[in-house]
Amino acid sequence: MTQELIRLDPLDLVLAGALVVALAGFSWAGRLGVERSLLVAAARTVIQLLLVGLVLETLFAHATLYWVALMSAVMLLVAGREVMARQKRRFAGFWGFGLGTAAMFLSSFSVAVLALIALVQPEPWYQPQYAIPLLGMLLGNTMNGIALSVDRLTDGAWQQRDVIEARLALGEPWGVAVEQIRRDAMRSGMIPMINAMAAAGIVSLPGMMTGQILAGAPPMEAVKYQILIMFLITVGTGFGTLAAVWFAARRLFDERERLRLDRLR
């Protein structure tokens, strides 16, 4: 039996926010040093989600391909900036931003369009009710995978630069010299999604399934959507990570196959 959605009022959100403030207080008392970051992140969450809510309401009322594409482009650019910001040693210049952005575009966008056209099949296929949440979930998870893998790659190359240069001096091509570092980087980007799939339904109820159940959808229908989404997210994250690591590893070497750590900053 489908139940009516229970709506939250502002007081409910204020009480939940008070718990975050209390946590920040404990952080300050314990001298953990994260209370400022915690409060700023909470404030950003409120502001950003409220703005997104207003944008989505307008977008749902004017569901045209142009506006959906514009919203998708903004999401992609912001995700690309976040990938760059999370790097301990990022690539200098446009490569710091463009590498992760290109990998997410090749993976997340292609998987999202395939899912909308061939699997979910809303009418029209770019209907924002389906397109924006699906793309958002794909971008968010792919962003995390790419950030982890590229950070692992660049840090590993920096730490093992003497080993890499010695292998290059022995005549090994760049791909062989950095092969183990690439494999470790790819695994670090894909393990979180593998763990999420392995624990789904036993350790945790995934977010989309929980949201649909809270909104009154039948549990089995929510389960089917969640399985679809998790498979799509895993594929998008996997291919995005593979592409980002390959591009990043190639960027670490010049056309003469010399290690160029000066391209990092």
The pLDDT tens digits for 91-115 are 888 888 888 899 999 888 889 999 9
Query: What is the reported pLDDT for 245?
Result: 93
User: Is the peptide bond between 133 and the residue preceding it cis, with omega within 30 degrees of 0?
Assistant: no
Do 165 and 57 lie in a common domain? no
Token pair belonging to 103: 């990998």
Q: Domain end: 9, 31, 61, which one?
A: 61
pLDDT at 181: 94
Structural domain of 8: 1-61
Residues 18 and 134 in one domain: no
| 19 and 149 assigned to the same domain | no
Return the higher-pLDDT residue of 46 and 85. Answer: 46
Q: Are residues 46 and 70 in the same domain?
A: no
153 touches 181 (CB < 8 A): yes
> In this predicted structure, what is the pLDDT of residue 4?
65
Is residue 27 domain-shared with residue 146, that is, in the same domain? no
* Nearest alpha-carbon partner for 135 in 110, 159, 152: 110
Same-domain status, 209 and 110: yes
- The CA distance from 168 to 176, in Å, is 9
Q: What is the pLDDT of residues 186-238, one digit of tens each?
A: 999 999 888 888 877 776 666 777 777 777 778 788 888 888 888 988 899 99
Residue 205: CB atoms within 10 Å: 15
pLDDT above 60 for 26: yes
The rounded percent of the chain whose pLDDT value lies above 70 is 97
Domain boundary among 17, 32, 61: 61
Out of 61, 89, 106, a domain closes at 61
Examine the domain organization and report whether 51 and 76 are in the same domain. Answer: no
Residues 231 and 102 both lie in one domain: yes
**HSE-up of 265 (CA within 13 Å, CB side)?**
9
Domain shared by 83 and 20, yes or no? no
Q: Are residues 10 and 88 in the same domain?
A: no
The amino acid at 78? V
Least confident span in 29-33, 176-180, 182-186: 29-33
What's the number of domains the chain is made of? 2
For the chain, give the mean pLDDT.
87
pLDDT over 70 at 150, yes or no: yes
Same domain, 86 and 106: yes
pLDDT at 19 over 60: yes
pLDDT over 60 (residue 1): no
pLDDT mean over 241-254: 92
pLDDT at 86 over 90: no
Residues 12 and 88 in one domain: no
pLDDT of residue 5: 65
